[in-house]
Structure 1
Amino acid sequence: MSQLLEVSGVSVSFDGFRAINNLSFAIGSAELRAIIGPNGAGKTTFMDIVTGKTRPDAGHILWGDKSLSLLGLNEAQIAREGIGRKFQKPTVFEDQTVEENLLMALKAKRGALSVLFWKPASADMERVRALAAEIGLEDALGRISGTLSHGQKQWLEIGMLLAQEPRLLLVDEPAAGMTPAEREHTTAILVEAAKTRAVVVVEHDMEFVRRLNCRVTVLHEGSVLAEGSLDHVTANKEVIDVYLGR
């Protein structure tokens, strides 16, 4: 598996507090990875750095086949390179239908002026139907998004990100606030998405991480403490001390 993202020796401090401390690890081009760790471990800051929201003080972040440095790019340029991020709280257009939300996400790839005059072609409608099927909302295309359950809004937002065809999807605590059935469906969506792109899930919920059945990176005080299968990392004495033992 080729490498898609390489984080090397990255550090960042806020007011003297080192949030990320010489962080190094890599993500493959079609890989599902979970990142876990206690509060303050640097999980959100890691995502902020990769998406260009936060600039590191030191280190390198290389992207794609050509090892492009992401540090010279702004947030919009990084998004165009194919890095999508889903925050914990779903952000969908509540007054629009599921179909309109997905169409708008497809449109986001076009220039500002062309969006004003854009009319969806049959291929666009087919893509929207395929996305709706992928996230399990094919029967809800005509529904106003504000009427969806919390879990369904999360799936719609994942669908909107997938509409932009990212090569890397960063997902923050997707299982939070979901019913058991919704969590199961969320697992299926993420596992399927990771067959054709890299998906990194930042999560607190160990049961959800176990369902993902993927490689796990444990962060502690801004650097990698352990890496491997969930069973491997949860048997690590240091991990037990800093995370599971609390």
Structure 2
Amino acid sequence: MSTLLEMSGVSVTFDGFKAINNLSFQIGEPEMRAIIGPNGAGKTTFMDIVTGKTKPDEGRVTWGDNNISLLGLSESQIAREGVGRKFQKPTVFEAQTVRENLAMALKNPRGPFDVLFYKKTKRGAERIEALAEQIGLSDSLTRPAGELSHGQKQWLEIGMLLAQEPRLLLVDEPAAGMTPAEREKTTEMLVEAAKTRAVVVVEHDMEFVRRLNCKVTVLNEGSVLAEGSIDHVTKDPQVIDVYLGR
């Protein structure tokens, strides 16, 4: 497994508060990783740095086979490099059908004329069918996205990200607000996605994290407090003290 993303010595201060404090982190490809930690631990800021929304005050963030720096790139350039991010609240086009949502997200040449002459290619149609199956929405392709349940909207958004063929998928609290059955389906979906790419899941639901069955990174006060299997980190006295004991 080769390293896809590496952060070293990254710090960010907002109004005198160190949101990220000398953070080092790396993930390979393919790999699944869960990130846990108390509120204010720096989990969202971590994702903001990877996606280019926040520029750190110091440190390095390198990416891909050629170890390019992500720090000089804009958010859209980083997205084109293959970093996809799913926020907590699903953002889908409610008036469009599931099929149209997936079609809009497909990785296509994005020049000004390509969008005008968007053709329904056979390959595109097959890809949409495959994605719909992957996210459990094959029976809902003709339904407006606004009619879907909360869990199904989350799946559609994961499908829209997968349509862009990212090498790294950042997913923020996917289990929030889901039924137990939906949570189980979401676990399967993410585990499947992590067979061919890097997937980072930020989550509070420890049962959900346990089912992902992957390496866990615990953040606290902007740096890594512990790292290892779920059993390893949940037995760590410091982790119990700052996070699990509450």
Q: TM-score range by the shorter chain?
A: over 0.9
Aligned length: 246
2:218 corresponds to: 218
Q: Structure 2 matches for 1:24-103, cutoff 5 A?
A: 24-103=24-103
TM-score, normalising length: structure 1: 0.99
| 1:3-43 residue CA offsets vs partner (Å, 9 max, x unmatched) | 00001000000000000000001001100000000000000
Structure 1: state its 5+ residue gaps.
none
CA contact (8 A) 1:154 1:174 kept: yes
Note the C-alpha offset of 1:113: 2.9
Note the C-alpha offset of 1:158: 0.3
1:188 corresponds to: 188
| Matched AA of 1:6 | E
CA distance in 2, matches of 1:170, 1:109: 23
Aligned CA distance change for structure 1 residues 109 and 207 (closer, same or farther; 3 Å): farther
Q: Structure 2 matches for 1:122-161, cutoff 5 A?
A: 122-161=122-161
Q: Secondary structure in 2 aligned to 1:232? A: helix
Q: Indicate the larger mover: 77-86 or 103-112.
A: 103-112
CA contact (8 A) 2:102 2:159 kept: yes
Q: Indicate the larger mover: 110-119 or 44-53.
A: 110-119
CA contact (8 A) 1:107 1:115 kept: no
CA distance in 2, matches of 1:218, 1:202: 10
Q: Secondary structure in 2 aligned to 1:224? A: strand
Note the C-alpha offset of 1:108: 5.9
CA distance in 2, matches of 1:216, 1:4: 17
| Matched AA of 1:24 | S
CA distance in 1, matches of 2:79, 2:113: 19
Q: Secondary structure in 2 aligned to 1:38? A: coil
Note the C-alpha offset of 1:112: 3.2
1:5 corresponds to: 5
CA distance in 1, matches of 2:67, 2:122: 36
CA distance in 2, matches of 1:107, 1:162: 9
Note the C-alpha offset of 1:139: 0.9
CA contact (8 A) 1:22 1:223 kept: yes
Note the C-alpha offset of 1:119: 1.4
Matched, 1:174 2:174: yes
CA contact (8 A) 1:109 1:164 kept: no
TM-score, normalising length: structure 2: 0.99
| 1:159-215 residue CA offsets vs partner (Å, 9 max, x unmatched) | 000000000000000000000000000000000000000000000110110110100
CA contact (8 A) 1:52 1:71 kept: yes
CA distance in 2, matches of 1:214, 1:22: 24
CA distance in 2, matches of 1:68, 1:230: 31
CA distance in 1, matches of 2:167, 2:109: 14
2:208 corresponds to: 208
Note the C-alpha offset of 1:109: 4.7
| Matched AA of 2:117 | F
CA distance in 2, matches of 1:157, 1:109: 21
Q: Secondary structure in 1 aligned to 2:71? A: helix
CA distance in 1, matches of 2:227, 2:107: 38
| 1:44-83 residue CA offsets vs partner (Å, 9 max, x unmatched) | 0000000000000000000011000000000000000000
Note the C-alpha offset of 1:107: 5.6
Indicate the percent of aligned positions where both proteins have the same amino acid: 78
| Matched AA of 2:154 | Q
Aligned CA distance change for structure 1 residues 148 and 109 (closer, same or farther; 3 Å): farther
| 1:100-152 residue CA offsets vs partner (Å, 9 max, x unmatched) | 00000016652233112211101100000000011111111111100000000
Aligned CA distance change for structure 1 residues 20 and 54 (closer, same or farther; 3 Å): same
